[in-house]
Amino acid sequence: MPDLKISPLVIFTVGTAASGKSTWARSVQSRYTGLRIAVIERDEIRVSLHEGRIEGVFSWLAWNPALEGKVQRLWEQRVRGAIGTHDVLVLADTHLDVGDLAKKAQWLRDQGVTEMSVHYFPALPLMELIRRDRGRGHPVGGEVLREHIKKLEPEDRYWEAVDGL
């Protein structure tokens, strides 16, 4: 009998910084212990790259944007590796750009992924996001949060991007 490869469910988080995406992703991992769930975050990759190259703690002011190509390659490598070994992949990033999300969804389809979903985090008031951001290890600041709120589109636009519409 041929070995059937089952596609994992890929969940894209969509929301501003400090909206609870990573916290939610980690809670899914701990709640559903019977499932093999991988949480993949670009920020985690950035921190490891930064701290692996430079002495000191990661900060957005110290981040070198020239490393974004390497972040993308490492992200793709992690996702490819998780596709064959996990039941669920949570891609816990902002995913605010609908066009970019559609490209990622197509790339995943090219990798054999057939099941994709969106977990949408509606915009919170800016003051609440700033309060949450200040409690995080790598805050982005009020100006970035304000821009994220402006970029966040209605939920159905993200579902259309993932569904290939």
For the chain, the domains span: 9-163
Closest CA to 26 of 45, 41, 8: 41
- Spatial distance between the Cα atoms of 1 and 22, rounded to a whole number of angstroms: 40
Rounded CA-CA distance 79/86 in Å is: 10
**Domain covering 9-163 assigned CATH 3.40.50.300 in the classification:** yes
Place of tokens 């066009």: 99
State how far the Cα of 5 lies from the Cα of 69, in Å rounded to an integer: 30
Q: pLDDT tens digit string along 49-66?
A: 888 776 567 888 888 899
Stretch (H or E) spanning 116: strand 115-120
Q: Are 9 and 115 in contact (CB under 8 A)?
A: yes
**Quick check: 148 pLDDT over 70?**
yes
Distance CA 144, CA 110 (A): 32
- Predicted confidence at residue 1, as pLDDT, reads 47
* pLDDT exceeds 80 at position 70: yes
Name the pTM for this structure. 0.92
pLDDT score, position 133: 97
Residue 63 confidence (pLDDT): 86
The H-assigned helical ranges of 16-141 are: 21-31, 42-53, 68-83, 98-110, 126-134
pLDDT, one tens digit per residue, over 98-125 is 999 999 999 999 999 999 999 999 999 9
What gap in Å lies between CA 57 and CA 121, rounded to an integer? Answer: 28
As a whole number, mean pLDDT of residues 158-162 equals 97
pLDDT > 70? residue 3: no
Residue 66's CB is within 10 A of a number of other CB atoms, namely: 7
- pLDDT at residue number 60: 84
Read off the amino acid at residue 143: E
What does the pLDDT average to over 43-53?
Answer: 86
Pick the residue with more confidence: 165 or 122? 122
With 90 as the cut, is the pLDDT of residue 45 above it?
yes
- Comparing 61-65, 84-88, 140-144, which segment has the lowest mean pLDDT? 61-65
The structure tokens listed for 156 are 């159905």
What lies within 8 Å, CB to CB, of 142 at 6+ separation is: 126, 130, 133
